[in-house]
Amino acid sequence: MRSYSLIAPAKINLDLEIIGDRPDGYHELVMILQSIGLADQIDLYSLSTENIRIHCNHPQVPTDKSNLAYRAAELMATKFPEAFSNYGGVDITIKKQIPVAAGLAGGSTNAAAVLVGIDLLWNLGLTQSELEELGAILGSDVPFCIAGGTAIATGRGEKLSPLLPSLAPLHIVLAKYRSLEVSTPWAYKTYRQEFSSSYIRDSNSLAARANAVHSSAIVKAILQQDAAEIAQKLHNDLERVVLPAYPQVLQLRELFAAQPGVLGTMMSGSGPTVFAIAKSPEQAEAVKLSVRQAIPDEDLELFVTQTITHGIQVASTPKGEIKN
């Protein structure tokens, strides 16, 4: 039986700027995306029937077509019908660690892992850019999740420009209320309603604005590996609509900002996860403890992790045999 086990890391946004509208109804974005150690595990094996099956240990994660991982497998079956009929369907088990609907690209990274895993299962030999192109069909964050690391993302979020050399680990604390979810379409729609008068309208100016990020202060700080400066330059336009509508998110952000050892704090993606960059792993643990003491609510999930320099990785077969 052919099988693979993949590690699918979450991401945070060090920067998220909404600069314009797009004819396809999406927004023109300028983002800096960053992989973190918090990850799901995806186990895949070929089935003798032409079925796609999803299992997940998290009750909120759907196992039908509404799961992006299912749609990733379906997309591979449609694009590579010969391989699909030769190798059969696929059984996918998602071991969830990443909070769902959290602004951490949990669904996108699962879909990215399914693309990478099926490429291996079916011996397709796709290149990274071919996998990214398939990823863009599924969602704006999927292409980034494939290679991960630190990258500038423009367009819908699918045009990637990796930032090298790889960033030395930043120590991250994440906070999310389990029962609190923010709809990404709602966040973008509300932003459009409130702030579209400031959108850039002509395509040359949009291209120039997107290009300017390469020489921005935060990119310079990343290239200089200056954690304190990166933390000072964090930015997310969606905070303008999410923080007023979700006071708990604002409260977490203020609590993080008040902790000794925190260099900076920001909401990730469309939220509601808030992250803080701490000075050291010890400080990150101290921040987590202090926030837990301030909010002893069991609904609040807290994680300590760090930034990493990769996206989807093959871990082993589900039986534990290490793959090279």
Residues noted as catalytic: 11, 141
Q: Which residues, other chains included, contact 208 with Cβ-Cβ below 8 Å and sequence gap of 6+? A: none
If the CB atoms of residues 24 and 298 are measured against ligand C5P, the closer one turns out to be: 24
The crossing angle, in degrees rounded to 10, of helices 106-121 and 128-138 is 130
- Examine residue 139 and tell whether it contacts ligand C5P (CB under 6 A): yes
CB of 131 to ligand C5P, least distance (A): 17
Number of residues that bind ligand C5P (CB under 6 A): 11
- Examine residue 157 and tell whether it contacts ligand C5P (CB under 6 A): yes
If the CB atoms of residues 24 and 82 are measured against ligand C5P, the closer one turns out to be: 24
CB of 71 to ligand C5P, least distance (A): 10
From 8, 10, 15, 27, residue interacting with ligand C5P (rule: CB under 6 A)? 27
**Residues 44-73 vs ligand C5P: string with x where CB under 6 A?**
------------------------------
- Examine residue 141 and tell whether it contacts ligand C5P (CB under 6 A): yes
- Examine residue 232 and tell whether it contacts ligand C5P (CB under 6 A): no
Identify the H or E element spanning 159: strand 159-162
From 184, 306, 309, 316, residue interacting with ligand C5P (rule: CB under 6 A)? 184
The closest alpha carbon to 29, from 206, 183, 170, 164, belongs to: 206
From 13, 34, 140, 248, residue interacting with ligand C5P (rule: CB under 6 A)? 140
On whether the CB atoms of residues 11 and 320 are closer than 8 A, the answer is: no
On whether the CB atoms of residues 240 and 233 are closer than 8 A, the answer is: no
Phi and psi dihedrals of 128, rounded to 5?
-60, -40
The closest alpha carbon to 152, from 142, 162, 143, 144, belongs to: 162
On whether the CB atoms of residues 176 and 247 are closer than 8 A, the answer is: no
Distance CA 4, CA 70 (A): 16
The crossing angle, in degrees rounded to 10, of helices 68-79 and 128-138 is 120
Piece of the chain touching ligand C5P by CB under 6 A; list 134-142, 164-172, 253-261, 312-320: 134-142
CB of 65 to ligand C5P, least distance (A): 14
CB of 180 to ligand C5P, least distance (A): 18
Structural tokens at position 273? 């996860």
- Examine residue 275 and tell whether it contacts ligand C5P (CB under 6 A): no
On whether the CB atoms of residues 160 and 151 are closer than 8 A, the answer is: yes
Distance CA 77, CA 260 (A): 51
Can you tell me whether residue 102 is helix, strand or coil?
A: coil
- Examine residue 160 and tell whether it contacts ligand C5P (CB under 6 A): no
Beta strand residue intervals within 47-82, DSSP E = 52-56
Piece of the chain touching ligand C5P by CB under 6 A; list 22-30, 214-222, 289-297, 298-306: 22-30
Residues in the chain: 324
Q: Angle at Cα 157 formed by Cα 155 and Cα 159, nearest 5°?
A: 65
- Examine residue 3 and tell whether it contacts ligand C5P (CB under 6 A): no
- Examine residue 29 and tell whether it contacts ligand C5P (CB under 6 A): yes
CB of 52 to ligand C5P, least distance (A): 20
- Examine residue 181 and tell whether it contacts ligand C5P (CB under 6 A): no
If the CB atoms of residues 103 and 149 are measured against ligand C5P, the closer one turns out to be: 103
Piece of the chain touching ligand C5P by CB under 6 A; list 171-179, 183-191, 222-230, 310-318: 183-191
From 79, 156, 159, 178, residue interacting with ligand C5P (rule: CB under 6 A)? 156
Q: Angle at Cα 137 formed by Cα 64 and Cα 69, nearest 5°?
A: 30
In the complex, the residues that contact ligand C5P under the rule CB under 6 A are: 26-27, 29, 139-141, 156-157, 184-185, 188
